[in-house]
Amino acid sequence: GAVVSQHPSWVICKSGTSVKIECRSLDFQATTMFWYRQFPKQSLMLMATSNEGSKATYEQGVEKDKFLINHASLTLSTLTVTSAHPEDSSFYICSARGTETQYFGPGTRLLVL
Amino acid sequence: QKEVEQDPGPLSVPEGAIVSLNCTYSNSAFQYFMWYRQYSRKGPELLMYTYSSGNKEDGRFTAQVDKSSKYISLFIRDSQPSDSATYLCAMGISTDSWGKFQFGAGTQVVVTP
């Protein structure tokens, strides 16, 4: 099956710093990628849809100035958490749209101290 | 009320038993139904994908959809300790909106040797 990678797999940062997470589709081109956040024992919550070459579409309640998304190529989307705070600590998962389904990355665990 | 309801478990079964998982939903427009397996600290992995009502079988896995009752199920036969994971159901209206599929909260399954 298709492979989607994320980097880093986990990150610890100080409050107020910015963190960039990369999502790559390794063996297929993805014009559309999705970013989710998942809190412990909770479901995946869609944050935004990333479209190659255009602005991301954010879900209601997600601050676009805080969660910057860039989809510069058909295989790479990045999520930057700006001025991170402890409440941003979560598991961030990306997915890439394939022909019949979406393929998820392994996730990035963010801990903001 | 959530659009997709899923019992969080945990559901503990002995090795070799049948695991029975289910989700209920409220949106009658849902047409596509999926089951994902998520190991701890990993991204979800697609297990089964169904479009219509009825049964679909793939190896030890059987997915059932009952649109009239707004109820879907996943059965795992001959369960193994390696099946221990969280199982997420997901559903959506069309394949044009893969990323916007609604996820259940996930059921944690523990298969004991």
- A50, with CB counted inside 10 A (0-12, 13-18, 19+), is buried
Q: Please check the confidence at residue A1 and state whether its pLDDT lies above 70.
A: no
**B100 phi and psi, to 5 degrees?**
-95, 10
- Chain A CB contacts of B43 below 8 Å: 4, 6, 93, 95, 104-107
Q: Please check the confidence at residue A49 and state whether its pLDDT lies above 70.
A: yes
State the nearest Cα–Cα gap between B42 and chain A, in angstroms: 5
Tell me what pLDDT residue B2 has: 77
Tell me what pLDDT residue B10 has: 92
| Mean pLDDT calculated for residue range B81-85 | 96
CA dihedral sign of residues B76, B79, B85, B86: positive
Q: How far apart are CA B41 and CA B64, in angstroms?
A: 28
Q: Please check the confidence at residue A2 and state whether its pLDDT lies above 70.
A: no
Closest chain A residue to B48, measured at CA: A101
Q: How far apart are CA A85 and CA A64, in angstroms?
A: 15
Contact B44 A41 (CB under 8 A): no
Percent of chain B with pLDDT over 90: 70
pLDDT bucket at A9, cuts 50 / 70 / 90:
very high
- Chain A CB contacts of B105 below 8 Å: 41-43
* Cβ-defined contacts of A39-48 (< 8 Å, 24+): A39/A90, A39/A91, A40/A91, A41/B8, A41/B105, A41/B106, A42/B105, A43/B4, A43/B6, A43/B88, A43/B103, A43/B104, A43/B105, A43/B106, A44/A93, A44/B44, A44/B88, A44/B103, A46/B99, A46/B100, A47/A79
Using one digit for the tens of pLDDT, what is the confidence trace for B68-77?
A: 999 999 999 9
State the nearest Cα–Cα gap between A109 and chain B, in angstroms: 8
